[in-house]
Structure 1
């Protein structure tokens, strides 16, 4: 079984997927005339707009929910892994991936809005919905069904354990808390939140994600200000290494680009099909609004949070790219399937172990150059990074719950509300069980299966957005034209052509009716 999964993982997460997602970002950026630069101010403005309704959440709640899924272990463990394998230059390629990936995030999130539906009092949407309604016919239904099943299995059963394992190990390393205690706490808090539905999840994400991300970035800024004389050299190192001009990293050029792109995509998830679920839940007057907001979430994830991690590591020098089995301190680490795990003396594997190098970076910043790396040492850096990782990974599990629930709703359309709620509760129970299991036991097979599920989602989604991208491009042009004609004080309203988008039923039927009712009330 493990051999089969490993073979499938190598096949799915192969160069065609990594470079295909990067090429997709390049081409979409060209088609939209690099909107990610032209509309940066509009992205920020729209993020704080307060549109919401009984069926939907605000744009800020939607971006918080989306960031809950994007900002996770990849922002700490993933970045340190990228630097271990690809050197400092991998950070540049993570930046490039975020910049280009913003275009993929716009396309998929705008499609999520165009084809969203109002089901049992809440907005639902995502790749399964726009695949079926956009492609149409029997093929579209089968394609949407496959995506929904793969996504439910990945987000409710396979991926939560990955995040929980990172939480348990980081808390154990920093505070000495038993993994079973962490598992029980996670299970109880998760149950309270996810059984409350999307609004509870969105409210928690809105409260936690921005606060923790800002606090983490502020910590990095404090460290950089304390070492301001070294900052220009850090950026010079990143750029020189990225273009193979740094002698120390000259032999890893190919690995640097590949791991930088792969870890960037794994962290910000642009094009992988997770973001559209949160985007579709937002209450907006035009789909392009949420596309722009979600594009900005990619920047927050990679350009801000991941960069904070990278600069802490590079400033402290707590990394090594010349040896695949041990680092300069003697702490063992092994590279496997593009990732790094720390192997203890008893043979157990800790895939979140590279977080200790971020912890060491913070410790060194406050203790000076005399600090010597000790994996068993618990200082301020250990505590701070453990807490940050806890919140980042926990909110990611919350986002997984919402994504799984959305796809259960897709599969249960036409069923009674009671039957749908049973489906929700099964998915929620599986997620809590997977979280507990992941917290108390490292399962290499589960990690590989989780990566496999995400890779399959990415393949299915990137093919779909290439087939369906034209309505999203047209929505952007329509939004730009309306904003130019109306000015900044008026709201752009989406009115699709029924002949072109007959299945965009919310925008063709529900939304016009609401506008008519509001007009009558006024």
Structure 2
């Protein structure tokens, strides 16, 4: 076991420890510049997904809005509550500024990777689709790169499908035990039962669950944060001043200075919004949309919601409270967020936060499970293997819930995520010209006065596309 831990520790150092975060940052900036600030150009268009006017007319297919909610449910998790608190503790308020900066760059990265996932998606039935990095590697780069697609799928399965689900189960059980004194076993069994009902219904039932859970958790949490801001409205200028001054090392009161703010802000932002990791494209490919860029824009909006809204809410709850003390030790993570909420609203708020953590974690579990299933589908088409994976995931969720130290068994999760991020970034760089061709087609149609561009596979004869997935007949009478 020690040898395995050492091996994966080296992988973690070679990816997250040394190079991956700077590469993700540079890559996001590159995508932003080379695409002509695409996330800014289409920012207003992102909000169209919230309106029913932008949905498809096939009741059996997954809409753009449904894919957005599943993605938001996966991106938003414990990191938005505990991770932001850790970033502020280690990097000061300035970490918040650098979270915003990497989210802005990450919006471009997410738009490009999700556009590619849509472009190369495959029909998985009359109105169902599958896709993601494994597919755009195989279909976009060719058969010689199939082994890279397999490596990606294995890493996705191991990290999101298995490891992270154990962590989420552990988070839920721990929070419920701490707040309500309920035994971990009972929480674990209840969580497994609800998860089983959802995941055995496939992506459509996952989407229906997300359609209920995500708005409730997001609106509830954002509502608390807005109320805290209103109660401390006079302190807002001071908070913004602390964030800016700390971000550029202008305030000596915050330990670590500018370097700590940058490092912790970028790391937390990247871990939270997942831009460039290749996880969200797996969900993006499931939606029925007129043009690949439409879903790219939608998933870019998901990054905005995760970091610019949810993470910012946590940051302001902490910075407007009287619990956080620069340089102080002993109170960080979810405890800092919990105590900060209590400083605004009283002890009852810790129960509200526990409910938020429960919903955040549950939405992440069903999201992670689908990613694991999509990874399995990229490795084998066996239905027995898929059922076996679902059963294994339920067992892992229960294991993570009942055993406080069980998550240490899944020490390979972060290193595996590091590998899949490297693989995805290499593929994105190689396929970037293709992505820009698709983006330029979208722009050309908009310039011609077409309000809702439609992707025509006949205009991309040289690409290995699934024609069944891009049947333009369904839009002719719309």
Q: What TM-score results when the alignment is normalised by the length of structure 2?
A: 0.94
Q: Quote the Cα distance in structure 2 between the aligned partners of 1:64 and 1:193.
A: 15
Residues 1:123 and 2:129 aligned together: yes
Check the 8 A contact 1:93/1:261 in 2, yes or no. Answer: yes
Residues 1:431 and 2:431 aligned together: no
Report the alpha carbon displacement of residue 492 of structure 1 after superposing the two structures with TM. 3.1
Q: Quote the Cα distance in structure 2 between the aligned partners of 1:357 and 1:106.
A: 33
- The answer for unaligned runs of 5 or more in structure 2 is none
Q: Quote the Cα distance in structure 2 between the aligned partners of 1:275 and 1:439.
A: 25
Q: 2:439 corresponds to which residue?
A: 476
Check the 8 A contact 1:128/1:147 in 2, yes or no. Answer: yes
Check the 8 A contact 1:46/1:289 in 2, yes or no. Answer: no
Q: Quote the Cα distance in structure 2 between the aligned partners of 1:446 and 1:315.
A: 38
Q: Quote the Cα distance in structure 2 between the aligned partners of 1:432 and 1:455.
A: 24
Q: Quote the Cα distance in structure 2 between the aligned partners of 1:245 and 1:252.
A: 8
Change (3 A) 1:320 1:13: farther
Q: Quote the Cα distance in structure 2 between the aligned partners of 1:5 and 1:143.
A: 19
Q: Quote the Cα distance in structure 1 between the aligned partners of 2:7 and 2:470.
A: 48
Q: Quote the Cα distance in structure 2 between the aligned partners of 1:288 and 1:239.
A: 34
CA deviations on 1:51-107 (whole Å, 9 max, x unpaired) are 153663000000001111100111111111111111111111111111100011011
Check the 8 A contact 1:244/1:250 in 2, yes or no. Answer: no
Q: Higher mean Cα deviation, 444-453 or 90-99?
A: 444-453
Q: 1:283 corresponds to which residue?
A: 288
Check the 8 A contact 2:290/2:475 in 1, yes or no. Answer: no
Report the alpha carbon displacement of residue 447 of structure 1 after superposing the two structures with TM. 5.0
Check the 8 A contact 2:162/2:372 in 1, yes or no. Answer: no
Q: 2:142 corresponds to which residue?
A: 136
CA deviations on 1:297-322 (whole Å, 9 max, x unpaired) are 00000000000001111111433553
Change (3 A) 1:321 1:425: farther
Q: What TM-score results when the alignment is normalised by the length of structure 1?
A: 0.86
Q: Higher mean Cα deviation, 160-169 or 124-133?
A: 160-169
Check the 8 A contact 1:135/1:468 in 2, yes or no. Answer: yes
Report the alpha carbon displacement of residue 211 of structure 1 after superposing the two structures with TM. 2.2
Q: 1:185 corresponds to which residue?
A: 190
Change (3 A) 1:486 1:492: farther
Q: 1:371 corresponds to which residue?
A: none
The structure 1 segments of at least 4 consecutive aligned residues displaced by more than 6 Å after TM superposition are none
Residue pairs, 1:201-220, within 5 angstroms:
201-220=206-225
Q: Quote the Cα distance in structure 1 between the aligned partners of 2:7 and 2:58.
A: 47
Change (3 A) 1:436 1:52: farther
Residues 1:382 and 2:387 aligned together: no
Report the alpha carbon displacement of residue 445 of structure 1 after superposing the two structures with TM. 3.0
Q: Quote the Cα distance in structure 2 between the aligned partners of 1:471 and 1:357.
A: 45
Report the alpha carbon displacement of residue 444 of structure 1 after superposing the two structures with TM. 5.3
Q: 1:37 corresponds to which residue?
A: 40
Q: 2:342 corresponds to which residue?
A: 363
Q: Quote the Cα distance in structure 1 between the aligned partners of 2:143 and 2:286.
A: 25
Q: 1:370 corresponds to which residue?
A: none
Report the alpha carbon displacement of residue 393 of structure 1 after superposing the two structures with TM. 0.9
Change (3 A) 1:184 1:400: same
Change (3 A) 1:460 1:230: same
Residues 1:493 and 2:455 aligned together: yes
Give the match's secondary structure for 2:68.
helix
CA deviations on 1:192-222 (whole Å, 9 max, x unpaired) are 1101111000110111112211211111000
Change (3 A) 1:468 1:496: farther
Q: 1:416 corresponds to which residue?
A: none
CA deviations on 1:343-401 (whole Å, 9 max, x unpaired) are xxxxxxxxxxx21211111110125xxxxxxxxxxx22210111001101110010011
Change (3 A) 1:259 1:251: closer
Change (3 A) 1:510 1:116: closer
Q: 2:377 corresponds to which residue?
A: 409
Give the match's secondary structure for 2:455.
coil
Q: 2:423 corresponds to which residue?
A: 460
- The answer for unaligned runs of 5 or more in structure 1 is 334-353, 368-378, 414-419
Q: Quote the Cα distance in structure 1 between the aligned partners of 2:154 and 2:48.
A: 36
Q: 1:394 aligns with which of 359, 362, 369?
A: 362
Q: Quote the Cα distance in structure 1 between the aligned partners of 2:371 and 2:161.
A: 9
Q: 2:166 corresponds to which residue?
A: 161
Change (3 A) 1:39 1:61: same
Residues 1:110 and 2:110 aligned together: no
CA deviations on 1:494-522 (whole Å, 9 max, x unpaired) are 43544431x1123xx5534x51x776x99
CA deviations on 1:245-301 (whole Å, 9 max, x unpaired) are 111126332222111111101001011011101110000110000000000100000
Q: 1:15 corresponds to which residue?
A: 18
Q: Quote the Cα distance in structure 2 between the aligned partners of 1:357 and 1:162.
A: 20
